[in-house]
Copies of this chain bind each other. A is one copy, B any other.
Amino acid sequence: MRELLRVRGGAAGGGRIDLAAYAPSAIPAGPSDRAAGRAVTAALAEPLAELQERLYAASTAGGRRRLLLVLQGMDTSGKGGTVKHVIGLFNPSGCRITAFKAPTPEEREHPFLWRVEKALPRPGEIGIFDRSHYEDVLIARVRGLAPREVLERRYGEINAFERALAEDGVTVVKVFLHIGWEEQRERLLRRLDRPDKHWKFDPGDIEERGMWPAYQEAYERVLERCSTDAAPWYVVPADRKWYRNWAVSRLLLEHLEEMDPRYPPAGFDVEACRARLMAG
């Protein structure tokens, strides 16, 4: 499944990315409908939690490996919903979740990767970024928050940063939640319809929506420049929430299976400990 969603960008030998060619309502390789999708996703909970436990267990014996899920996408694309429904399948104690907002004054005084480094998963953990360092080449590009040459440099800095992470044992899984223009409108309207969803709505979301083409182009550049062998991007069609949840769960499962973490052997004398416990 993951090969199907993987972006073959410039750095990985591919060419131009045209997001218009990706249907946000598609369900590639997925279950055929919502009921099946939910059932199959729920069935992934057990293998995911076991792989997570193995990963954590390995870290107690000095293993350095961990996984980092990076979630990007337009407003309402389902970043928060993915954390709730997919990361909710894991043991919360091994998850390190960070939602990146507009940088604070302190963060703005540091290089853009500073706050990201502080939020990285520790060995054995699963890290989740709801938005990430990619905002510094997305909103920063669309809103002109940095000179063009700085933006250009950042793609390379990001690739070097992620390569270093991979060399340090971090499996980086970058997911672009791809929703369509009409689906976003419906989701924003639904938030307005329900008083219990008003807190999720920000009139600023309408301004951002007005820059939709510029954002799509900024995402295309990201997918072209920063989908590397060390840290590929995956485009997940996200108009259907059940498909999105299934696809991200599957991506995590496939990466964890490939990592194949193992329970460490006992570093003590099991029989001697048993005898002491029986005696005491």
B-binding residues in A (CB < 8 A): 57, 60-61, 80, 83-84, 87-88, 90-93, 95, 97, 99, 130, 185, 188-189, 192, 195-196, 198-203, 206, 209-210, 263-266, 268, 270, 273-274, 276-278, 280
Give the distance in Å from the alpha carbon of A264 to the alpha carbon of B92 in the complex: 27
Q: Is the interface of A mostly helix, strand, loop or mixed?
A: helix
Q: Contacts A91-B88, A192-B273, A280-B209 given: A199-B83 contact, CB under 8 Å?
A: no
Chain multiplicity (copies)? 2
Give the distance in Å from the alpha carbon of A206 to the alpha carbon of B99 in the complex: 41
Would A265 and B92 count as touching, CB distance under 8 A? no
Inside 8 A of A80's CB, which chain B residues have their CB? Answer: 93
Would B84 and A195 count as touching, CB distance under 8 A? no
Q: Contacts A99-B93, A206-B273, A276-B206 given: A201-B266 contact, CB under 8 Å?
A: yes
Give the distance in Å from the alpha carbon of A95 to the alpha carbon of B200 in the complex: 18
Give the distance in Å from the alpha carbon of A280 to the alpha carbon of B208 in the complex: 12
